[in-house]
Amino acid sequence: MDNMEYKGTTTIGLVCDKGVVLATERRATMGHFIASKDAKKVYQIDDLIAMTTAGSVGDAQRLVKWMQVESRLYKMRREEPMTVKGIVSLLANILSGNRYFPYYVQLLVGGFDKNGPSIYSLDAIGGIIEEKKAVSTGSGSPMAYGVLEDRYAEKMPIDEGVELAIRALHTAMKRDSASGDGIEVIKITEDGYIRVEDAQVQRLREAFT
């Protein structure tokens, strides 16, 4: 399993009016071989924070567990949750500390905290970019960006963000052979962390066909 990679992954993050949307497709590949059609690529880190992963499955899962533990410990000690930026800063320090043997990952971290909604992207050696609008990673990102740049609007309602993320992934999956086999969408607001039901995702995909 550790040799499986998400290098063909398409992930999407959108900053919306009162929250964020994080979405991925579900195909995992080893070279040209489709290793899994139900790979998990978006993980809940804290109550209102999630992370999407691309790269080595083993590296990604190790970092997810590390961040989940650190966020729980912080909450126990401080009696308040870590901010999105706090988790990103800690994660960046971990990544940059392994410069000579880097984790083979590309990550998006997003959520809602006392500062509002935010999304950050991180590279394998800890580089951080705060994404103010829409972001996509992976081999399908050029196709996804074509949709995102055409249809994204600042302060768009989060349900419209869900539809846009699905549309962008649907488009990428039609052209990128390494992306496919379903879509997972998470929306996060101050009211909660919600996984969009598969039936709703499928209805929206059929509307875009």
Predicted confidence at residue 7, as pLDDT, reads 52
136: how many CB neighbours lie within 10 A of its CB? 27
Instruction: Report the residue count for the chain.
Output: 209
- How far is CA 105 from each of CA 50, 59, 120, 200, 205, rounded to the nearest angstrom? 15, 7, 14, 30, 28
**Which positions are annotated as active-site residues?**
9
Taking CA atoms, 146 is separated from 29, 68, 88, 129, 207, in Å, by 24, 33, 27, 20, 19
Give phi and psi for 100, each to the nearest 5: -85, -20
Residues 97-131: pLDDT tens digits? 877 778 889 999 999 999 999 999 999 999 999 99
> How many CB atoms lie under 10 A from the CB of residue 189?
17
Our measurement of the distance from residue 208's CA atom to the centroid of its chain's CA atoms, rounded to an integer in Å, reads 22
| Lookup: tokens for 1 | 């399993």
Per-residue confidence (pLDDT) for residue 14, from 0 to 100: 98
**What pLDDT is stored for residue 12 in this prediction?**
96
Residue 1: per-residue pLDDT: 38
What are the residues whose beta carbons fall under 8 Å from the beta carbon of 79, sequence distance 6 or more?
A: none
Predicted pLDDT at 153: 95
Q: What is the pLDDT of residue 2?
A: 44
Taking the domains of the chain in order of start, what are their residue ranges? 11-208
Secondary structure (DSSP) of 133-188 = SEEEESTTHHHHHHHHHHH--TT--HHHHHHHHHHHHHHHHHH-TTS-S-EEEEEE
Alpha helices in the chain (DSSP H): 57-78, 84-96, 141-151, 158-175, 198-208
| Segments in the chain below pLDDT 70 | 1-8, 27-38, 175-181
CATH classification of 11-208, choosing from 3.40.50.360, 3.30.310.50, 3.40.50.300, 3.60.20.10? Answer: 3.60.20.10
Predicted confidence at residue 16, as pLDDT, reads 97
Cβ contact 175:140 at 8 Å = yes
CA–CA separation, 77 and 55 (whole Å): 32
All residues at 6 or more sequence positions from 101 whose CB lies less than 8 Å from its CB, including other chains = none
What pLDDT, on the 0 to 100 scale, is given for residue 88? 98
